[in-house]
């Protein structure tokens, strides 16, 4: 049976490009894209992508060349997810929040041949190109401006504009055949904080499998109306750039995730699905009571969230508005979400607080991931499934990146013994659900003991006047590191540091005590949103010999 040959009929490269070809045939006249007054059907989207791909070939783009783009969630960015690989090239979507320096670093490292820039980002793009020009041995990419397709501005930088490439392109272009599914499809740079950004390469195979996995995990059925609240530059929109085509859905493109843009589009187009970080819940919540455009939501909107566990109170509030939240965990290197908190029927009977707690866990592996484990780094053994034993989260499967581009050192560090090491620290509960405790680099090591910044954040977040809390490591002369908390209070809140400190004293979990933290400090910086002044407070956690927690505060201006 082994010598039955592979042929064109039974062994076809897995690539998300087939989703568009299929959509152009099966869903030809359904609406593919809505953006302001602009509408396209799947047949049109396919044709436009063929045109752009053929134009790229005319610009001498060949196989494996990199095409970079700096744009918000406009139709052109969506189309490029197909058009660029249809030309055989590799799409590099750049985070629009980066500064000119980082953009220049990415353009240089990726050796981008063409650089598409949305008209709103021309200033920063120009600066990046200037920086690039001062760099030695660097090829300056050809610039193509993406003007607003709904309200053209006429703003240009050089001669080329996106719609012109569409217009001049060949609608009957035959897309580059993907002969090897291991070929690269996209290149996504992870944001650098201390180090330079790393270029994560996805294969056609990985992108295809992740797309199917996420449709399955989120149970996104046919004909979704998908609001682009998650930037497409985030792991290619967690693969939903390709997934919406697979489902014959409608992409509702928006420039900004303001409450107005989101609510208007949700109500107008009966949005069924959207992805976002939990922070976006706040935008939706704060707008709700008083803004005229926030009409009641008539469809139940499914939200897939990730990036941080959604805090329980936020979950309860957002679901009351008509949103239904599913929580996923992932990272750029895993083509976006790798775990998803699959809901269980029996949990519906639990009190809402317990439900929120269960929902904030990262969950179980998506279907195309071959395995997930939490390993004790010292001995590389799996930790017990007890919800307590901490280890590093490891993944393996065909949805994991090909590797970092031109960075053997980084590849060597993350790929070990047939596993990809995420750098995240977590536990596995008895029911098989995984819960992240921290980024390994965010674990605060104070007096030789590990403090999970997420644990402390979660406690602070439970205070009813707290909107956001972020805990980071702060250098400390005696303890090495000490936790420092940044806290955003609700509007017009009158609470003081002493309230937060009292709250911490009452609520810091037994879990932390069990780690016998001898002495650690938490600095609470409280602030009100839209207010620049800050007052600082110092918070000392002292466990005495009986493991009783005492909290001592002192002012520190």
For a second copy, the binding residues (CB under 8 A) are 1-2, 4-12, 14, 18-19, 21-22, 25-29, 64, 90, 182-184, 187, 201, 206, 209, 212, 215-216, 219, 221-223, 246, 248, 342-345, 364-365, 367-368, 370-371, 395-398, 400-403, 405, 411, 415, 417-420, 431-433
* Planar angle of CA 338, 261, 82, nearest 5 degrees: 50
Residue 64 Cβ, how far from a second copy at the closest point, in Å? Answer: 6
**Residue of 157, 123, 164, 163 lying closest to 142 (CA atoms):** 157
* Residue with Cβ nearer a second copy (229 or 368): 368
* Residue with Cβ nearer a second copy (47 or 183): 183
* Residue with Cβ nearer a second copy (330 or 483): 330
Angstrom distance (rounded) from CA 178 to CA 534: 55
Residue 192 Cβ, how far from a second copy at the closest point, in Å? Answer: 20
Q: Which two tokens stand for residue 288?
A: 């709700």
Residue 415 Cβ, how far from a second copy at the closest point, in Å? Answer: 5
By DSSP bridging, strand 415-416 and strand 419-428 are: antiparallel
Residue 236 Cβ, how far from a second copy at the closest point, in Å? Answer: 16
* Residue with Cβ nearer a second copy (149 or 372): 372
Residue 308 Cβ, how far from a second copy at the closest point, in Å? Answer: 23
Q: Give backbone dihedrals phi and psi of 343, rounded to 5 degrees, phi first.
A: -75, 145
Q: Which two tokens stand for residue 456?
A: 């402390």
* Residue with Cβ nearer a second copy (25 or 536): 25
Angstrom distance (rounded) from CA 296 to CA 321: 8
Residue 12 Cβ, how far from a second copy at the closest point, in Å? Answer: 4
CB 274 within 8 A of CB 192: no
Residue 429 Cβ, how far from a second copy at the closest point, in Å? Answer: 11
Angstrom distance (rounded) from CA 104 to CA 235: 20
Angstrom distance (rounded) from CA 91 to CA 239: 13
Q: Which two tokens stand for residue 441?
A: 């680099």
* Residue with Cβ nearer a second copy (130 or 371): 371
Cβ-count burial of 317 within 10 angstroms (0-12 exposed, 13-18 middle, 19+ buried)?
middle
Kindly calculate the radius of gyration of the chain based on its CA atoms and give it in whole angstroms.
24
* Residue with Cβ nearer a second copy (195 or 348): 348
> Which residues 6+ apart lie within 8 Å of 126 measured at CB?
157
């Amino acid at each position: 049976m082994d010598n039955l040959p592979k042929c064109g009929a039974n062994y076809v490269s897995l690539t998300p490009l087939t989703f568009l070809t299929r959509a152009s045939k099966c869903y030809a006249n359904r609406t593919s894209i809505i953006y302001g007054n602009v509408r396209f059907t799947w047949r049109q989207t396919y044709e436009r992508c063929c045109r752009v791909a053929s134009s790229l070939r005319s610009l001498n783009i060949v196989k494996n060349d990199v095409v970079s783009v700096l744009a918000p969630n406009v139709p052109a960015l969506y189309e490029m997810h197909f058009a660029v690989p249809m030309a055989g090239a590799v799409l590099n979507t750049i985070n629009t929040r980066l500064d000119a320096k980082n953009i220049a670093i990415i353009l240089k490292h990726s050796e981008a041949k063409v650089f598409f820039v949305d008209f709103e980002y021309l200033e920063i793009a120009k600066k990046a190109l200037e920086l690039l020009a001062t760099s030695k041995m660097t090829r300056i990419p050809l610039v193509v401006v993406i003007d607003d397709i709904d309200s053209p501005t006429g703003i240009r930088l050089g001669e080329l504009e996106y719609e012109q490439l569409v217009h001049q392109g060949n609608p009957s272009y035959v897309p580059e055949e993907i002969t090897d599914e291991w070929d690269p499809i996209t290149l996504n740079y992870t944001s650098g904080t201390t180090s330079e950004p790393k270029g994560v390469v996805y294969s056609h195979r990985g992108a295809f499998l992740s797309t199917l996995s996420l449709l399955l995990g989120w149970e996104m059925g046919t004909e979704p109306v998908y609001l682009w609240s998650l930037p497409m530059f985030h792991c290619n929109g967690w693969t939903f750039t390709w997934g919406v085509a697979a489902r014959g859905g409608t992409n509702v493109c928006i420039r900004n995730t303001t409450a107005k843009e989101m609510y208007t589009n949700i109500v107008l187009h009966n949005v069924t699905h959207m992805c976002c970080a939990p922070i976006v819940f706040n935008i939706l919540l704060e707008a709700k009571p008083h803004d005229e455009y926030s009409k009641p939501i008539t469809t139940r909107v499914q939200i897939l969230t990730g990036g941080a566990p959604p805090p329980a109170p936020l979950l309860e509030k957002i679901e009351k508005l008509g949103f239904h939240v599913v929580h996923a965990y992932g990272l750029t290197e895993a083509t976006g979400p790798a775990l998803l908190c699959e809901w269980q029927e029996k949990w519906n009977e639990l009190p809402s607080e317990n439900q929120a707690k269960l929902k904030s866990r990262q969950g179980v592996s998506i279907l195309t991931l071959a395995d997930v484990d939490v390993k004790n780094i010292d001995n590389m053994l799996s930790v017990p499934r007890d919800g307590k034993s901490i280890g590093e989260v490891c993944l393996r499967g065909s949805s994991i990146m090909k590797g970092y581009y031109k960075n053997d050192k980084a590849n060597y560090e993350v790929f070990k013994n047939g596993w990809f090491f995420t750098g995240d620290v977590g536990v596995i509960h008895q029911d098989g659900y995984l819960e992240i405790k921290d980024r390994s680099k965010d674990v605060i090591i104070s007096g030789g003991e590990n403090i999970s910044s997420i644990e402390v954040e979660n406690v602070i977040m439970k205070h009813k006047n707290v909107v956001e809390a972020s805990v980071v490591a702060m250098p400390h002369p005696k303890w090495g590191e000490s936790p420092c908390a940044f806290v955003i209070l609700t509007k017009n809140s009158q609470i003081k540091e002493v309230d937060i400190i009292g709250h911490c004293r009452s609520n810091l979990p037994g879990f932390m005590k069990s780690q016998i933290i001898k002495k650690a400090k938490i600095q609470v910086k409280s602030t009100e949103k839209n207010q620049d002044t800050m007052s600082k407070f110092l918070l000392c956690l002292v466990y005495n010999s009986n493991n009783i927690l005492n909290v001592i505060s002192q002012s520190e201006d």
